[in-house]
Amino acid sequence: MALDYEESKTKIVEKLTKKAKTKSKFYFSDLAKILEAKPREAKKVVNKLVEEQVLELWSSGSTSMYGLKGIGKQASAEQED
């Protein structure tokens, strides 16, 4: 069954905001777990959240992680905000 986008967005934003003090970057599998969905279903929602700039991607070059846009040290440390 396809995931409801708005409901999924709320779930992710709530969970990531709650954890924001201790953790700002999450693996894709963490997001799939929050959504309790199969990776392929979760991917559709996560892609849309990135497109809408709710989430942003961080990459080391080898690994990719997701976080709420603007949360964490990255943006200000890199003068990107």
Partner 1 sequence: MAKHETPMLDQLESGPWPSFVSDLKQEAANRAANPNNLEYQIPVDVVEDILGVLELSFKHGRTHWKHGGIVGVFGYGGGVIGRYCDQPEMFPGVAHFHTMRVNQPGAKFYKTDFLRNLCDLWDLRGSGITNMHGSTGDIIFLGTRTEQLEEIFYDLTHKYNQDLGGSGSNLRTPADCIGQARCEYACYDTQGLCYHLTQEYQDELHRPAFPYKFKFKFDGCPNCCVASIARADMSFIGTWRDNIGIDQEAVQAYIGGELNPNANDHGDRDWGAFDIQKEVIDLCPTECMWMEDGKLMIDDKECNRCMHCINVMPRALRIGQDRGLSILVGAKAPILDGAQMGSLLVPFVKAEDPYDEIKEVIENLWDWWMEEGKNRERLGELIKRQGFQKMLEVTGIKPMVQHVQEPRHNPYIFWKEDEVEGGFDRDINEFRKHHQR
Q: What residues line the site for partner 1 (CB under 8 A)?
A: 27-29, 38-40, 42-43, 46-47, 50-51, 56-64, 74-75, 77-80
Q: Phi and psi for 78 in degrees, rounded to 5?
A: -105, 15
Cβ–Cβ under 8 Å, residues 23 and 72:
no
Nearer to partner 1, 22 or 77 (CB): 77
- To partner 1, the closest distance from the beta carbon of 41 in angstroms equals 11
Q: Report d(CA 43, CA 21) in Å as an integer.
A: 25
- To partner 1, the closest distance from the beta carbon of 30 in angstroms equals 8
